[in-house]
Structure 1
Amino acid sequence: MAYVFVLFAAVLWGTTGTAQSFIDGDAHPLTIGAVRLTIGGFSLLGFAILMKKLKLRGLVWRATILSAVSMALFQPLFFSAVQLTGIAVGTVVTIGSAPVLSGLIEWLVLRQRPDRVWVTATLLAITGCVLLFAESDTVTINPFGIVAGLGGGLAFATYTIASKKVLERAESMSAVAVIFSFAAVLLIPFLFIFDFSYAAAPGNLAVLIYLGIGATTIAYLLFSSGLREIPSSSAVTLSLAEPLTAALLGVFLVGETLSALSWTGVALLLGGIIAVTARQRKS
């Protein structure tokens, strides 16, 4: 069930864009990222303390801190990429580069050479991701946005690899609670820089709670549970189900339309995801 947990996590991440579209008023992306991590991290930390399930002894602190810093960096880098170069290019560069960067880190740093199945599946999924957004009307190429997107992809890949080290000795709940609480502390200053008064509206607050609990706490608990059993590179490849989910929600809930080229991208994305899960099942 490990790869199923990771897929469910990616599906929950994919609802983020649709959920944010229901926020009324001007909401700066950085404040949304800070609020979702604050709600997600501290609510899980409080729950773990209340249930007496918070165990700090098994935590590998260097990997824990690296995971938290990586997750904190991912938020502003990803949202900056989306702002500077558009949703389509920002998403493709950030989410699409993460599997490649994860595989390279495992190969060059951890000396774990990726196999042919992973390489093929990742190429299929990334190609599908590019085709999915190829005909978007909001495509804009901004060099700074591209750099921010690559930085976000590197941050997510680093988080995945570092958190896997943490999960080798610690329980998922304790690990995720500590990592995200620390990441939230690093992002809280953004709430004093940008206006987030929109959060006081009942409807907006409900969306933010969902983003914090559903798309962050539950999603990363699922991701961490699956990450225990599968390679980091495979987990990051499976996370490409996030843009796939976002695109399908746009079609079925928001009323957007996809071209034939975009549907080809959907098929390739699914093919890459199925190839990774099939490889895991065979193993």
Structure 2
Amino acid sequence: MRSFVMVALGATLWGCWSLFLRPAGLSGIQCAFLAMAFTSLPAPFVWRREALRDRRATLALAVLALCDAANCALFFAAVQRGPVAVAVLTHYLAPLLIALAAPWVLREPRSSRAILGAPLTLAGLALLLGAPQGMADPWTAVLGGASALFFMVNVLASKQAARAYSPLAITALHSPFSALALLLVFGRSALPPALDSRLLFVAAGAVLCGLVGNTLFNAGLRRIPTAAAGALTYLEPLTAALAGLLVFGEALGSLSLLGGVIVLVSGVWVASAPRAPAQVTPVPTGTG
């Protein structure tokens, strides 16, 4: 249960990004680049040469770096292009994709609760965010759905990287390459216009939501089924909605509140499924 709590806390911290990004007033791509840059800071202290011996884990870390950059780029493009509800809902197809892919990619036991719980939670998320009024621009959904594919790979790659890398190392070591990828794709538009106090907001978010959130998520992910972890990531949009209500005065209607309850109940239902004792992959001593 401790691992489930760690994954849930990590996802909850992800949902707090708006508390730091809105005051910063920077574009989504600029915030993504800065967040990656700040979460890279521990990299020199957590890198261990011994971890490179596990080629599968190192390859997974490289895949994570590229896919995390693609995930951020596509998701923010979806948010900028069209309705946020469409972008978020299509992005959160990822847990359903994870539930379906984990038995094939990681050879984990198939979780019937995860498969049933993912679309149920997606329905709750639809109520929480509010149904979009039509699909005037289908490219928003295409971009959001594409980001979901990369986020699915992020979770699967993190699981494999944990064979040789610590949770903090997984977060810190892939981030500089993700930042570089964003810079190569978006060029100067990924850089903030000036060095001022707004960077402090992003730095605080990078530490709390990025480093702490990702480390907790990756630490818990090592010992629970990937499909269940994917379902618990729905706590991120739930937390974001609550932050909007309590901090920014964005009121929730009765249907939105019902959706939030569905998200929580579905996550708990998936997490509490009976399961065999976890097979923990041993981590070599001193690999960071």
Does the TM-score normalized on the shorter chain lie above 0.5? yes
Q: Displacement of 1:7 after TM fit? A: 0.8
Cα deviation code 1:154-200 (max 9, x no counterpart): 11110111111110233223332222222222223367421744552
Q: Which amino acid aligns with 1:72?
A: A
Cα deviation code 1:39-95 (max 9, x no counterpart): 112x1213436xxx675335422211111111111110110111112222111110x
Aligned to 2:28: 29
Q: Displacement of 1:151 after TM fit? A: 1.0
Which blocks of at least 5 consecutive residues in structure 1 are unaligned? none
Indicate which of 240, 248, 252 corresponds to 1:258.
252
Aligned to 1:188: 183
| SS in structure 2 of the partner of residue 21 of structure 1 | helix
Indicate which of 188, 203, 206 corresponds to 1:212.
206
Q: Cα RMSD between the aligned structures?
A: 2.3
Indicate which of 266, 269, 277 corresponds to 1:272.
266
Q: Distance in 2 between matches of 1:48 and 1:169?
A: 12
Aligned to 1:44: 42
Aligned to 1:69: 66
Contact 1:123 1:272 in 2 (8 A): no
Contact 1:128 1:264 in 2 (8 A): yes
Aligned to 2:98: 102
Distance 1:68 1:197, change over 3 A: closer
Aligned to 2:280: none
Q: Which amino acid aligns with 2:86?
A: V
Aligned to 1:147: 142
Aligned length: 274
Aligned to 1:227: 221
Contact 1:68 1:179 in 2 (8 A): yes
Q: Distance in 1 between matches of 2:245 and 2:132?
A: 14
- TM-score normalised to the size of structure 2? 0.86
Q: Displacement of 1:4 after TM fit? A: 0.7
Runs of 4+ in 1 over 6 A off after TM superposition: 280-283
Contact 1:54 1:174 in 2 (8 A): no
- State, as a whole percentage, how many aligned pairs show the same letter: 25
More helix by share: 1
Which blocks of at least 5 consecutive residues in structure 2 are unaligned? 278-288
Q: Which amino acid aligns with 2:219?
A: S
Distance 1:264 1:106, change over 3 A: same
Contact 2:33 2:191 in 1 (8 A): no
Aligned to 1:93: 90
Distance 1:13 1:89, change over 3 A: same
Contact 1:135 1:262 in 2 (8 A): no
- TM-score normalised to the size of structure 1? 0.88
Q: Distance in 1 between matches of 2:113 and 2:194?
A: 45
